[in-house]
Each structure stands twice: as structure tokens, then as C-alpha cells.
């Protein structure tokens, strides 16, 4: 059995990310061990993982080949410089990744997180236009309710107000498309029918800012962090067509939707729409070592690298880009995805998942349910004057009853590991349903 960590006796020093620190430290929720679909608390209580950690442990916890690959990499070389030097694992990891990304998106830049991937892709877009002699393409377009991490670029194109308010004006040369969360789409199973025409707002932005001014549009194929908003049928196709028409690069942020989550390697495959770049992280290493990546077309790579005079072509990178431990973890993770056909498995169980989560629609205070791949969002009526409280209390009830869920505002988000089986789905829906009902009493 792996080492079980004991509960800490002092919580003061740690400033926790995206957490109500004061409330948490009064009543901490700790996880100390994980295997398969299950976490254990430091006291040894089982908690079923309904969220794959943070949408990232797609192949399930404690996968031995990943652990062993990391151990071997650490034992043979802890680190090698990533600038002006290389090591075999970073090239192997990139080659393997280029085989699973959609055809044509086969040039890989490594980062350490989803946030870094977003900023990297935005910077590559700017460098690409400049390399083509079209440096006037500088405006970056995101969407309302979009989430692209917490660094200044991704935050600026992001569309979640609470994440931005504390941090001043951010990047100036940015605009946003409207979100597509429409009343007509409530309780849709899979992709909604209404709202593809919201993509046409890009045409308005082109008219507003000038056709040569826009560098890139970044979009999550399913908006996760805002509370699971599935894009309407035809929306991505329209966005693709408009981007092509106006020479704008289209970036899919697949930090959540990549690596089997959508019943395909990437949402781009599932929806049959090819962007110019894909950002990823999370499932890339099964979250065992932090790692992100940007996949770009060979045309983007060639344009940036060949236009430069001899020397460094892109003045960007991280000390830990292509870290050996992360590369080892990524290769082992991709082996597991291939050998266990996890995307196909997710696709096969999706109808059962969809039916199960939508069975909660008549519970008190449930005002919408949405799903895509092995993702679901259950939106609750907020308490009068106390937004987030209802969902927060339901999360606590679930945790006490042995189920990990995630909440954003008053929306419950579910995204289990792709190794999920019918019995787990039953337990998730039963435990959550009981918590929703108990909280309404």
C-alpha cells in the first residue's frame, strides 16, 4: 500500500488557491491517498471521485505505469536545460503527442499548466501574424464566461468577472463574444439546438475593430469552469468559417476536453472542427506531474521559425518546458489511453451517464442540467441573498457521504475518471440526489 499521509496539525502557513481560506481552515476537507476511482481521507474514509481530481485524472488514480515512469526518469536524470539544450524524453513526448492530436496539429510546445498553455498560444498567434508581415493583427478575442486560466493573457480573454475584478485593467487589446447559455436550451441532453448564430458576433467585432486587427479567437469547446456550458450545434463550425474568412487564428482550449473526456482524443475530433491551435494540460500526464502543451499547425510553426533571421525564433519558454518527469508521465499516460482505449470507453458509457445525470431534473431547486462527454453540470436555484451557499452545502454533504463533487457558484460540475463503471454512476447520482433533497428540506 502506498504511504498514507497523516493530517497536518497546522494549517496557518498555506495560502490556498481558489479557496475560502478562513472557512476551509475552520473545517478542512483533506484527501491523503487515491487509487482507481477512490480517494481516502487521512482518517481512512473512502470518497468516490466524481471530478477526476480537478478534471484531470482521466485514467483513474494511482496508475502504476505512470508512477514507475516518473520514478525511472527521476532516477536517471532529474533535469536538463530546456533552452538551447534538449533531452530524449522531450522529443519522444512531443512525437507521441503529435500522433494523438488532430491531423495537421503536429507541432508541440510544452508548458507546465493550462494557464501557461493559454498564454503561450496567444503569444504564438501574435508572433505568427508578425512573422507573416501582418503585425497589425493584435487583438485577442475570448468569450463571456470563458476560462483560460489565471495568467494575464488567459485572464484577459477569459469571461468570468469574479476572476478578473481584483486585478485591474488587464490586457487592453481584447474583446469578447457573447456566451451561448440560452433559456431555450435548458435541460438539453448533449449539444443544444439554439445559439449557433451567436458566433456571428465575431463578424460584428471584425466590423467594429477592423478586419486586419484580430489575431486570434480562443474558445473552450465545452466551457467547464464557468459551470459546464455546452456549445450549440453548428457554433464551432460557424466560428471556424468566420476565422478562416478573416485570417484569424482559432484556438481551442482543450485543457478539460482533451484526453478522452469527450469520448474522443480531443473535442476537435468529437465535433469535427479543426482549430489552428489546441491548448491542453490536466489529462496529458493524468495530473501526476504538472504539464501543459500547445499543439500548433506545421504552417504556424514553419511561418514563425522560417521568417526569423538565424537564432532564436520565438522568445518564449519556461525553465520546466518538457521537464523529464512530466514527459515520462505523459508518455506513460498516452500508453494507457491507447492500450485501454479510454476515449472509446468514455464514448460507450456516455449515454448511461447522460441518462443518469438527467434523472436528477425533478429534484427540488434543480433549474438546469447539461452534459457532454463524461462531463455534467447541474445548476441550482441560488438561495435568496446567499449565492453559492446551497451548492457549497451540498458539496459538504456529498463529501461527508463519501462523494467528491465540484461546485462553481451554484452549479455542480461532475467529470469522473474515464474508467468509471455503472456502479459508480449509480453511487454518484444517488448520493448527489440525496444531498440535493436533504438540503432542500
Question: Which residues in this chain contact ligand PLP in the complex, by CB under 6 A?
Answer: 113-115, 118, 147-149, 220, 224-225, 253, 255-256, 281
SS3 325: helix
Query: Is residue 190 a contact partner of residue 372, using CB atoms and an 8 Å limit?
Result: yes
Nearer to ligand PLP, 38 or 285 (CB): 285
Nearer to ligand PLP, 138 or 225 (CB): 225
- Nearest approach, Cβ of residue 21 and ligand PLP (Å): 18
- Nearest approach, Cβ of residue 225 and ligand PLP (Å): 5
Query: Is residue 323 a contact partner of residue 85, using CB atoms and an 8 Å limit?
Result: no
- Nearest approach, Cβ of residue 154 and ligand PLP (Å): 6
Nearer to ligand PLP, 105 or 118 (CB): 118
Helix ranges, 281-341 (H): 298-307, 324-340
Q: What is the DSSP string of 335-384?
A: HHHHHHTHHHHHHHHHHHHHHHHHTTTTSTTEEEEEEETTEEEEEEPPBT
- Nearest approach, Cβ of residue 75 and ligand PLP (Å): 27
Q: Is the dihedral of CA 200, 202, 203, 207 positive or negative?
A: positive
Query: Which position's Cβ is nearest ligand PLP?
Result: 114
Length of the chain equals 441
Nearer to ligand PLP, 143 or 397 (CB): 143
Distances (CA, A) of 290 to 99, 185, 207: 21, 36, 40
Taking the CA atoms of residue 398, residue 404, residue 405 and residue 406 in that order, the dihedral angle to the nearest 10 degrees is 120
Sheet order of strands, 214-219 included? 107-111, 292-296, 277-280, 249-253, 214-219, 139-143, 174-177
- Nearest approach, Cβ of residue 135 and ligand PLP (Å): 27
- Nearest approach, Cβ of residue 277 and ligand PLP (Å): 13
Helix ranges, 49-168 (H): 52-55, 64-76, 88-100, 114-131, 152-157, 161-164
List the one residue out of 40, 225, 212 whose CA is nearest residue 136: 212
Nearer to ligand PLP, 97 or 435 (CB): 97
Nearer to ligand PLP, 206 or 230 (CB): 230
- Nearest approach, Cβ of residue 253 and ligand PLP (Å): 4
Query: Is residue 432 a contact partner of residue 400, using CB atoms and an 8 Å limit?
Result: no
Nearer to ligand PLP, 160 or 366 (CB): 160
- Nearest approach, Cβ of residue 281 and ligand PLP (Å): 5
Nearer to ligand PLP, 53 or 192 (CB): 53
Amino acid at each position: 500500500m502506498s504511504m498514507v499521509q497523516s493530517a497536518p496539525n497546522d494549517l496557518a502557513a498555506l495560502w490556498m488557491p481558489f479557496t475560502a481560506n478562513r472557512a476551509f481552515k475552520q473545517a478542512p476537507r483533506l484527501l491523503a491517498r487515491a487509487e482507481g476511482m477512490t480517494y481516502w481521507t487521512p482518517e481512512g474514509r473512502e470518497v468516490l471521485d466524481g471530478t477526476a481530481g480537478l478534471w484531470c485524472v482521466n485514467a483513474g488514480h494511482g496508475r502504476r505505469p505512470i508512477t514507475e515512469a516518473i520514478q525511472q526518469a527521476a532516477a536517471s536524470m532529474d533535469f536538463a536545460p530546456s533552452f538551447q539544450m534538449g533531452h530524449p524524453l522531450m522529443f519522444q513526448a512531443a512525437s507521441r503527442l503529435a500522433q494523438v492530436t488532430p491531423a495537421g496539429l503536429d507541432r508541440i510546445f510544452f508548458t507546465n499548466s493550462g494557464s501557461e498553455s493559454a498564454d503561450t498560444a496567444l503569444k504564438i498567434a501574435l508572433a505568427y501574424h508578425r512573422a507573416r508581415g501582418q503585425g497589425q493583427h493584435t487583438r485577442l478575442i475570448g468569450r463571456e464566461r470563458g476560462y483560460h486560466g489565471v495568467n494575464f493573457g488567459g485572464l484577459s480573454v477569459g469571461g468570468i468577472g469574479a476572476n478578473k475584478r481584483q486585478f485591474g485593467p488587464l490586457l487592453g487589446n481584447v474583446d469578447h463574444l457573447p456566451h451561448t447559455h440560452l433559456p431555450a436550451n435548458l435541460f438539453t441532453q448533449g449539444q443544444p439546438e439554439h445559439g449557433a448564430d451567436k458566433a456571428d458576433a465575431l463578424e460584428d467585432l471584425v466590423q467594429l475593430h477592423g478586419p486586419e486587427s484580430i489575431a486570434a479567437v480562443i474558445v473552450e469547446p465545452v466551457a467547464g469552469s464557468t459551470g459546464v456550458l455546452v456549445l450549440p450545434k453548428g457554433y464551432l463550425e460557424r466560428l471556424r468559417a468566420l476565422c478562416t474568412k478573416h485570417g484569424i487564428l482559432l484556438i481551442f482550449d482543450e485543457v478539460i476536453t482533451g484526453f478522452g473526456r469527450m469520448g474522443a482524443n480531443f473535442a476537435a475530433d468529437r465535433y469535427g472542427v479543426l482549430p489552428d491551435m489546441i491548448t491542453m494540460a490536466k489529462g496529458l500526464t493524468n495530473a501526476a506531474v504538472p504539464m501543459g502543451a500547445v499543439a500548433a499547425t506545421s504552417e504556424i510553426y514553419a511561418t514563425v521559425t522560417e521568417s526569423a533571421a538565424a537564432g532564436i525564433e520565438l522568445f518564449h519558454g519556461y525553465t520546466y518546458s518538457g521537464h523529464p518527469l512530466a514527459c515520462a508521465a505523459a508518455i506513460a499516460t498516452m500508453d494507457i489511453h491507447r492500450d485501454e482505449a479510454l476515449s472509446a470507453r468514455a464514448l460507450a458509457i456516455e449515454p448511461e451517464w447522460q441518462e443518469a445525470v438527467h434523472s436528477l431534473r425533478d429534484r427540488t431547486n434543480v433549474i438546469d442540467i447539461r452534459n457532454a462527454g463524461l462531463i455534467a453540470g447541474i445548476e441550482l436555484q441560488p438561495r435568496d441573498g446567499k449565492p453559492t451557499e446551497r451548492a457549497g452545502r451540498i458539496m459538504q454533504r456529498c463529501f461527508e457521504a463519501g462523494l467528491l463533487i465540484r461546485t462553481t457558484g451554484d452549479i455542480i460540475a461532475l467529470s469522473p475518471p474515464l474508467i468509471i463503471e455503472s456502479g459508480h454512476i449509480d453511487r454518484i447520482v444517488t448520493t448527489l440526489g440525496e444531498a440535493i433533497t436533504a438540503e432542500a428540506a
